[in-house]
Amino acid sequence: MNYEIQSLPKRGDVVLVGLSGGIDSTLTAVMLKEAGCKVIGVTMSLWDSRFPKIDSKKEYCFDANESMSIDDCRAFCKKYDIEYHVVDLHEEYRKNVLEYFKAEYRAGRTPNPCIRCNSTMKFGTMLSSVEKLGVDYDYFCTGHYAKIVKPTEGLFGTENRPYMVASASDASKDQSYFLYRIPGSVLEKVRFPLAEISKKEVFEFAKKNNLFSEKYTESQDFIDPQYFDILFADKPFAEGDIVDLDGKILGRHKGIEHYTIGQRKGLGVALSYPVYVHSIDAERNRVVLAPIEALRSSSFIIDDSVWAGGVEPQSAFEARVKIRLAGGLHNAKVEETKSSQPDNAKSWRITFDEPQTAVTPGQSAVIYDGDVIVGGGVIAKVEN
């Protein structure tokens, strides 16, 4: 796909920057400040005080120590004369991310909370909350590694040229996968200043500005694993059988919430050959194990799909598809199929040119034309 990379904010523009306390968002704010923009910082407060505090050396998005990160952000903004706001969204986060996370695991699927958080919270509720405070801005920027582009021709044969997300120049840091559900109407005011900067250049820039220190960390993970049992404490884990593909009982599991497709460690089963979690049968409360060969799939179905600019393809097409952040882009055919959703929304079948391993229900399949995201959806059913 041919496209135009959208220009970054210029001198005099008012730019809202999402600050996490990490090095990427911090440097984004400094770069915009140096470019002559009026920068306004904002941080989401997500921690629910009803959770017991657990000390952890690593920072997480849902973290009992978030006040320390907020204090760092506040001190940073004071140093650089940046207006700063903290919006308390812990209740919205509980409903939109934590409850979703629990429900998906209990249904035998593996959720992606970062994708959910970006679409509903960071690029949704947080922005509306800031606007309610009377904060007006020209652009919203974050430290994500991705690009905002517009195609030079209409999408899928239409005249529609929506704002779209494309991969970052540094493929090793690309985060476009996490951003596929953000509507084009929101992307119009979104920019990613780190889009064409390598991680090496980021650290050099940080060093030059005396910002490189232990407190400016890498991007955060979702939740400290120590909180996992606490998060699911509202309902006891139900033990059940671990079986092979023929239904032979191999052992007992401690609750399907603890397992995901492709998992090899922590299974508590000793066999003469290596086995992995092949599937999770929530209805019968079983975890199914199999050799790695049995985890290869040629096709799968996605539901809950979104398309750039709301423009759906009218016929089957060839694309590149990513089924997990750490995985590569794989050539595939995308075509509409019979809906499996109760609201009769469309479902789509994705068929790989070459079978892939551990396609996981609940994860997202993101569809690219070249390096531009045209759509995606949640993996609902694995075939073959």
Is the pLDDT at 12 greater than 90? The verdict is yes
Is the pLDDT at 45 greater than 90? The verdict is yes
Q: Which domain holds residue 282?
A: 236-290
Number of domains in the chain: 3
- CATH number for position 250: 2.30.30.280
Whether 104 and 219 share a structural domain: yes
Question: Among 248, 246, 285, 250, which residue's Cα sits nearest to residue 267?
Answer: 250
Report residue 55 as tokens: 């000390």
Average pLDDT of the chain is: 92
Is the pLDDT at 356 greater than 90? The verdict is yes
Whether 100 and 140 share a structural domain: yes
Q: What is the mean pLDDT of residues 321-341?
A: 91
User: Residue 11 half-sphere exposure, CB side, CA atoms within 13 Å?
Assistant: 3
Whether 113 and 61 share a structural domain: yes
Considering the entire predicted model, what is its pTM?
0.93
Query: End of a domain among 198, 227, 256?
Result: 227
Condensed to tens digits (0 to 9), the pLDDT of residues 168-212 reads 998 888 999 999 999 999 999 999 999 998 878 887 887 887 775
Whether 257 and 159 share a structural domain: no
Query: End of a domain among 290, 309, 331?
Result: 290
pLDDT at 344: 67
Whether 284 and 211 share a structural domain: no
pLDDT band at 214 (very low <50, low <70, confident <90, very high): very low
pLDDT at 201: 86
Interior angle at CA 290, CA 287 and CA 293, nearest 5: 140
Query: End of a domain among 227, 260, 277?
Result: 227
Whether 193 and 280 share a structural domain: no
Other Cβ atoms closer than 10 A to 215: 16
Whether 316 and 251 share a structural domain: no
pLDDT at 56: 67
Whether 116 and 45 share a structural domain: yes
Whether 269 and 334 share a structural domain: no
Whether 210 and 139 share a structural domain: yes
Q: What is the mean pLDDT of residues 15-29?
A: 93
Whether 186 and 97 share a structural domain: yes
Strand stretches in 71-138, DSSP E: 83-88
Q: What is the mean pLDDT of residues 286-300?
A: 97
Is 64 or 103 the better-scoring residue by pLDDT?
103
Is the pLDDT at 38 greater than 80? The verdict is yes
- CATH number for position 117: 3.40.50.620
- CATH number for position 375: 2.40.30.10
Q: What percent of the chain shows pLDDT beyond 90?
A: 78
Interior angle at CA 324, CA 268 and CA 57, nearest 5: 65
Is the pLDDT at 218 greater than 60? The verdict is no
Whether 220 and 251 share a structural domain: no
